[in-house]
Structure 1
């Protein structure tokens, strides 16, 4: 546990909660050293009750004392959040943004001479299986990189990338859980249609996707090779894959990633 690290979070939505859940569940940062500013008082009460953190409407109390400020607001709310927090941060405090489309240049303009990190985590962080990518600004050194890796990777995996890759990261791993949920949902419906109970079909589908992902992460073979290994000629898997190819499932997933990437770029230009 980093007992010397104090974290402040602006925004108390789903992604902020995913980070809080990951940090507190892993014990990486003491709950008493995590403070959240959220404009809904009821949401503050919920976060404080569940995770044992400090949560309140307004950030003035904690901003001068934190080591890392995490911006976790909607893109439209980011300009106001930056204006309201920039003047209260202590010198040297790092700003870690998970706001879609908010560039390092914009962060450095709002927080002059503060080290900034732009990141894109995803919601499986809340269950210890997140995937985050981050890019560092010009004032971010080894300490900031280590802190970003800790905060984003403690409940999953984290990778440093060039900022130019972050829109693609958003399109793939940022939006990717929704694609995976849709695939699991469809597999469940297929199982039910084939005669399975819904609870059993859900377990089978979710564990199958989890197991397949773990085999890819083991790194012993590519996804294409793993697929080939379980596809016997004229067998059941081959029959199912032929349907998926006819229905252009592969193309649909590729186009989904590209569309989400383009949307992230558009947000960055707005």
Structure 2
């Protein structure tokens, strides 16, 4: 969890404590508020000490229970402010993968140029429907989230319309390892590799492959996406990070540039893809 995120959550906790002790009907103890809300007293303590992230419902109930219903909008704005940086998968996937994909569709639609680094999987903007389906199924199992793979696939496929719009450009780098990863059956991966080979030459896509044997200037760490040099999104097992400060964005730009110097493009990239395709045992 980032330092800025921790500070913001602690500041929200301090504000919640302030509302509790200034209750118009008289100061409430943590135990009294917990009883009024039907919560464990430990939840009140964790929220006030910045050790638990409040939900929008938590904040609404808190505002009413402490006699400060007019602070509801303020509390929600605080929550949105620090969650815009770190977006936990638990919260995002509460309603399944489709809403997350719809959010990404809006983000992509509002962008002209995207720079992407993918070390482990094929870029979502270049995935086949079958490949994407297996990705969503695997993540739903991992996160124990709603099984809405078909709806999520349809949303992701709709996003790919962006590739055929004038003025758009996708600069995507993939580590060769991503071409080998059997997150799906071999025949599905084979079709996905055929799709990638066919993408090369599209005027809206510049696809580079970093071969396994290439000398890397930086470690091929987590994947990330840069949108018009205004936002970087990266992810870990617990959350997505949406990063907007100029210094951080510049760091990711330097990483992307360093990785691109190890990549091959055009016919060389097609050759790498073809070699991986021939190595698959498809039954």
Give me the TM-score of the superposition, normalised by structure 1. Answer: 0.25
Higher relative contact order (CA 8 A, sep 6+): 2
Larger radius of gyration: 2
Give me the TM-score of the superposition, normalised by structure 2. Answer: 0.25
